[in-house]
Amino acid sequence: MTDTATGEILAEVHRGVGRILLNRPRALNALTTGMVVAVDRVLADWERIPLSAVVLASTSAKAFCAGGDIRTIREHSLAGDAEASERFFASEYRLNARIAEYPVPLVSLIDGVCMGGGLGLSVHGAFRVVTERAVLAMPETAIGFFPDVGASWFLPRLPGAIGMYLGLTGHRIDAADALYTGLATHFVPADGLDAVGDALADHPGDPVDVVLNRLAGRSPVAESELATVRGDVDQAFGAPALGEIHRRLRRLGTPWATAALAALESASPQSLEITHALLAGGRQRTLRACLDAELALTRTTIRTPDFLEGVRAALVDKDRTPRWQGASLGAGTLPS
Ligand code: QUE
């Protein structure tokens, strides 16, 4: 494997298959500017050589990628250097767009945590393989941010109102849910992941889909929990406004609705407003236009008290009790 300058990503070509490994395991592969630029450069280089596939994976057994390095983004904002973060987001979204348009089938192996920027690396590619240890989420409303990396394009394109549900609540889903929603395309048991690269190299003429299906083995994937609450998800999160989503969840009163309400109550009210508007608008936008809209939003959001406070509570002090600027939706600030 060729080390890039920092060693935070590793890249090699073997028998016509490119392999990129995210290698910042102590931070659950949270993406730095260096990692994003390095992956982008490798993919750009590999557009000029004939490859049958590119595999994107991780050296960590715990995580594919936990998201962006938002701890550093917060530090830049506090130090008055938000411009450094703007360079990060611009590079990250350029990479998301390159992945979406990549001429060679890109296969992400999602074993462990895949959140935020991790979904940006994987969902825009042709194939997303999940294992029994996969946990996927867009958890940004919990840190005073909003679902980015093209989420305003891919969340509204999930079935029914699932995308609005996942984007507003940050709900974590497993392999069965990921396959049900389409965020994942294939299941391969974790102990079968090492065979993916060789299988692709052994059968360069076979459709990638066929090769991945052969690796699924006999392991049955459990039933999707999301599928069992799909009617209520669509009913509540299909509402045209946040206040109405709230009312419909209260009216449902089921355990699922109560949990969803609790997630909305603990999220940043500012983030919920931004996210609802962004995802509603994303339906009519191209991916490029979505990424541009998100980039514009990052410039203001990373300077807000809610973002600084949200990252503090989740990742710096880890007290998980953020004090948001606005009152929560449930506190009676909206007409009910
Ligand atoms: C929302 C997020 C992120 C998050 C938690 C959230 C995120 C992110 C991390 C993270 C996790 C572990 C690490 C690390 C970062 O957590 O984007 O460096 O070691 O990267 O609620 O968006």
* CATH code at position 31: 3.90.226.10
**Domain assignment present for 278:** yes
Give pLDDT < 50 ranges for the chain.
328-336
Q: Cα of 69 to ligand 1 centre, how many Å? A: 7
314 close to ligand 1 (CB < 6 Angstrom): yes
68 counts as catalytic: yes
pTM here? 0.95
Is residue 148 among the annotated active site residues?
yes
Supply the pLDDT for residue 330. 44
Residue 326 domain-assigned (yes or no):
no
Ligand 1, residues 23, 60, 119, 143: which to mutate, most atoms within 8 A of Cβ? 143
| Res 6: pLDDT | 79
* Domain contains 330: no
Residue written as token pair 């987001």: 89
Which tokens belong to 125? 């590619």
Asked if residue 333 is part of any domain, the answer here is no
322 lines ligand 1 (CB under 6 A): no
Decide if 122 is inside a domain.
Answer: yes
Any idea of the CA torsion for 290, 127, 8, 62, to the nearest 10 degrees?
110
62 lines ligand 1 (CB under 6 A): no
Alpha carbon of 120 to ligand 1 centroid (Å):
14
Q: How far apart are CA 207 and CA 204, in angstroms?
A: 8
CA 70 to ligand 1 center in whole angstroms: 7
Looking at residue 221, what is its pLDDT?
A: 82
CA 238 / ligand 1 centre spacing (Å): 28
Say yes or no: CB of residue 120 within 6 Å of ligand 1: no
Q: Which atom of ligand 1 is nearest to the CA of 31?
A: 20
Q: Is 73 in the pocket of ligand 1 (CB under 6 A)?
A: no
State the pLDDT at residue 217: 75
Active site residue 140: yes
CA Rg, the chain, in Å?
Answer: 20
- Which segments of 179-249 are extended strands (E)? 186-187
CB of 267 closer than 6 angstroms to any ligand 1 atom:
no
Is residue 211 helix, strand or coil?
A: helix
Domain annotation covers residue 328: no
How confident is the model at residue 4, as a pLDDT? 64
Index of the ligand 1 atom closest to the CA of residue 139: 1
What residues make up the domain containing 196?
2-320
225 a catalytic residue? no
CA of 67 to the centre of ligand 1 (A): 6
Tally of domains within the chain: 1
Q: What is the model's pLDDT at position 326?
A: 77
Query: Looking at residue 334, what is its pLDDT?
Result: 39
DSSP label at residue 132: T
CA dihedral 159, 134, 41, 31 (to 10 degrees): 100
Q: Cβ atoms within 10 A of the Cβ of 326, count? A: 13
Q: Is residue 335 part of a domain?
A: no
With a 6 Å cutoff on the Cβ, whether 98 touches ligand 1 is no
Token pair in block for residue 314: 């989740």
Among 34, 117, 118, 170, the active-site one is 117
Domain-located, residue 327:
no
| pLDDT computed for residue 225 by the predictor | 97
